[in-house]
């Protein structure tokens, strides 16, 4: 059997998938089909490994890792059926840049919710240069899928042949036709936003170390929510995490909640900001109820 290609796809697109397709035949591969038509059996991802847990035992480890590419988090698993990847994960200390080649996996809960993950085949530590190259290649691949999907949405009845005649490769054309039918006019602008998020990571002045906004009020009664946008609030929380990390083990979540409230960021909003920062790979949880800046 021909080896399946490893797709380059951002976590936000992969995690938005709700369609699985299995080919014909006893050993036919199964595919996760993303909203942009990536027909994924295998994928190649690069990002920051921010969290790792052994769900098995010391004798029979089963690793679950989260890898952030700046748009969302991939959930990566490796156990006895992938001994090379499992052994590599056991030696990696978060946070670290990693490259992962693996197979797409799906799970549907009793409530009908659809989850996707990656079963690792190979895991390597890499440097930031490799991560940046992956971002650029994945941007190009994502824009190509956006073009294909937009062409399909303009057709009265999208067909593989029609897309191939426009110059798109057959595997992408097949996935796009299936995605167009299942997702019913997917929001391509959402994924243009993903591309912009990725490109912003490559800018020299991407703002990871910006100072607190000027004239930051001392108390919540002086805060005007409309004057501080979400990006500025994320920078505020990043600075607080760094300030509260006095013992280098991470900022205590109760302390972070208390200090953020003084700046008008209440607990529910802080949780949303923390989740966004985790998705972007800017912070991680070294232990429960502690946040640490990367």
Instruction: Note whether 63 and 78 are within 8 A (CB).
Output: yes
Nearest alpha-carbon partner for 75 in 112, 99, 49: 49
Residue 90 pLDDT > 90, yes or no? yes
In this structure, which long-range contacts are made by residues 108-117, counting pairs with CB atoms below 8 Å and at least 24 apart in sequence?
114/17, 114/18, 116/14, 116/15, 116/17, 116/32, 116/75, 117/74, 117/75, 117/76, 117/77
Question: Would you say 270 and 278 are in contact if contact means Cβ atoms under 8 Å apart?
Answer: no
Task: Place 176 in a pLDDT band, splitting at 50, 70 and 90.
Answer: very high
Lay out the sheet containing 19-22: strands in order across: 19-22, 30-33, 39-40
pLDDT digits (tens, 9 = 90+) for 7-25: 999 999 999 999 999 877 7
Phi, psi of 123 (to 5 degrees): -130, 130
Q: How confident is the model at residue 34 (pLDDT cuts 50, 70, 90)?
A: very high
Pairing status of strand 6-7 against strand 42-54: parallel
What pLDDT, on the 0 to 100 scale, is given for residue 226? 41
Q: Which of 117, 107, 97 is nearest to 46 (CA)?
A: 97
- Please report the pLDDT score of residue 205 as a whole number: 55
Note the pTM of the prediction, 2 decimals: 0.76
- 220-293 has which fold? Arc Repressor Mutant, subunit A (1.10.10)
Q: Taking residues 56-75, what's their average pLDDT?
A: 93
How many residues can be counted in the chain?
A: 294
Q: Which CATH architecture has domain 6-147+186-198?
A: Beta Barrel (2.40)
Domain ranges of the chain: 6-147+186-198, 220-293
Closest of 93, 91, 64 to residue 79, by C-alpha: 64
- Other C-beta atoms closer than 10 Å to the C-beta of 289 total 12
Percent of the chain with pLDDT over 90: 56
If you ran DSSP here, which 8-state letter would residue 57 be given? Answer: -
Note the pLDDT of residue 215. Answer: 38
**For residue 18, what pLDDT is reported?**
95
Mean pLDDT of 67-82: 94
């Amino acid at each position: 059997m021909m080896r399946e290609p490893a797709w380059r796809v951002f976590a936000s697109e992969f995690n938005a998938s709700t369609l699985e397709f299995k080919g014909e035949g006893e050993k036919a591969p199964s595919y996760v089909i993303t909203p942009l038509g990536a027909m994924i059996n295998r994928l190649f991802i690069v990002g920051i490994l921010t969290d790792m847990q052994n769900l098995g035992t010391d004798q029979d480890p089963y690793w679950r890792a989260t890898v952030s590419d700046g748009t969302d988090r991939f959930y990566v698993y490796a156990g006895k059926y992938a001994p090379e990847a499992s052994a590599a994960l056991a030696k990696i200390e978060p946070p670290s840049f990693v490259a992962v080649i693996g197979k797409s996996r799906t799970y549907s809960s009793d409530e009908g919710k659809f989850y996707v993950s990656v079963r690792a085949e190979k895991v390597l530590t890499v440097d930031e240069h490799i991560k940046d190259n992956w971002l650029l290649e994945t941007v190009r691949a994502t824009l190509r899928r956006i073009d294909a999907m937009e062409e399909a949405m303009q057709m009265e009845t999208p067909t593989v042949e029609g897309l191939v005649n426009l110059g798109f490769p057959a595997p992408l054309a097949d996935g796009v036709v299936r995605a167009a039918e299942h997702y019913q006019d997917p929001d391509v602008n959402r994924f243009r936003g993903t591309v912009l998020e990725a490109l912003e990571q490559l800018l020299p002045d991407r703002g990871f170390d910006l100072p607190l906004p000027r004239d930051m009020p001392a108390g919540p009664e002086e805060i005007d929510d409309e004057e501080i946008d979400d990006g500025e609030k994320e920078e505020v929380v990043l600075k607080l995490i760094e300030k509260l990390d006095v013992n280098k083990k991470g900022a205590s979540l109760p302390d972070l909640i208390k200090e953020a409230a003084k700046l008008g960021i209440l607990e529910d909003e802080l949780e949303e900001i923390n989740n966004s920062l985790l998705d972007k790979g800017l912070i991680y949880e070294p232990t429960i109820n502690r946040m640490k800046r990367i």
